[in-house]
Amino acid sequence: MDTEESQHMVQFEATLEAATNGAGESALRYLSTREIRDQASAQEANGYAATYSAEVNSDAFLPLVAAAEDTSTIELGTGIAIAFARSPMTLALRAHHLQAISGGRFVLGLGSQIKPHITRRYSMPWTKPVAQMESFIEATRAIWACWREGGVLDVRNDHYTINLMNSELTPPAISHPDPPVLLAAVGPAMTRLACRAADGLITHPFAASASYLREHTVPLVERSLEEAGRERNAFRLSGAVLVATGATDEEMANSIRAVRRRIAFYGSTPAYLSVLEHHGWGRLGEQLHSLSRTTDPARWERMAELVDDEVVETIGLICRPDEIRQRAAERYDGLLDRLQTPVLT
């Protein structure tokens, strides 16, 4: 994964929407396969290097099957798939199949999520997330190696035991290499793991300020890669920034409100407190977390009101549609190799 050129000039990535409640629609609905295909085709035509499907209120993998149909060059990735909601075997099989369907363009973006989602939403075990993620990636790569090279599958680590595989269970061979694995991280321990065990790092949109990247993320990545004996130009540093934009003042105001709400949501999570503390906003994080734990039906609106314009403009990107690429490049050139610019409405 050579990123030497993109270390100097950020390349742009898109977000593949799988569900919408767009203009004139009163309820959220899934997009049809035709709509997803058209969306991906337009993104490829507009020069995006990749498009990523999220796992929030829809599956991260299924939209990529449709996206592969009418595209030929754009990378197709999960951004991100929740690793601990599934086993390494189920994930390895989906990734292998998508690598075949896409003609070698699939990128496996993984993340751990946080404990409440894993235990209460997915009813899966939560142990030590960094150690478990290392075991997960190790197991996934071992499964791919078994299918690619043959031999015995025998994964035995602290979190997974996977040792049943035969010719009937082995998927068809493909001519493409294993998909690159990108790991989402905010904290230093998961970031160091990405530098040891993954092909790249996906930074969180909440940690997208230029100063946080410049003073925390990028130096940590460079040190960790050096400790692991790896070259920077073989490692992809990807990120995302929350974009508020609109063609009219009303659209712009609505989009800014959406970014403000999203920042309040992320800021209420203790795992992300270090980002706010970096900017001197630690007290805001404590207030958001306390409000999020109340039963007040208006708590999310009240939380958004605590997020002032300085916070929105520092973490998010606020500009007109025709300014997004220029403004993003000014902020992120030299910091990130790739950048997703999802627009919140």
Per residue in 139-155, pLDDT tens? 999 999 999 999 999 99
pTM of the model: 0.92
Q: Is residue 296 part of a domain?
A: no
CA 59, distance to chain mean position in Å, is: 14
At residue 293, what is the residue type? R
Token pair for 274: 């270090």
Domain presence at residue 302: no
Residue pair 279/204 in contact by the 8 Å Cβ criterion? no
Q: Is residue 312 part of a domain?
A: no
Residue 239 lies inside a defined structural domain of this protein: yes
Question: What DSSP designation does 215 have?
Answer: I
On average, the pLDDT of the chain sits at 95
On whether residue 336 sits in a domain, the answer given is: yes
What is the CB neighbour count within 10 angstroms for residue 268?
23
CATH number at residue 12: 3.20.20.30
Tens of pLDDT along 43-71? 999 999 999 999 999 999 999 999 999 99
Residue 23 has a pLDDT of 58
Q: Does residue 276 sit within a domain?
A: no
Domain count, the chain: 1
> pLDDT confidence of 2, banded at 50, 70, 90?
low
Assess if residue 259 is contained within a domain.
no
So what's the pLDDT on residue 53?
Answer: 97
Q: Which domain holds residue 56?
A: 5-245+322-340
In a domain, 55, yes or no: yes
What's the rounded Cα separation, in Å, for the pair 274 and 170? Answer: 44
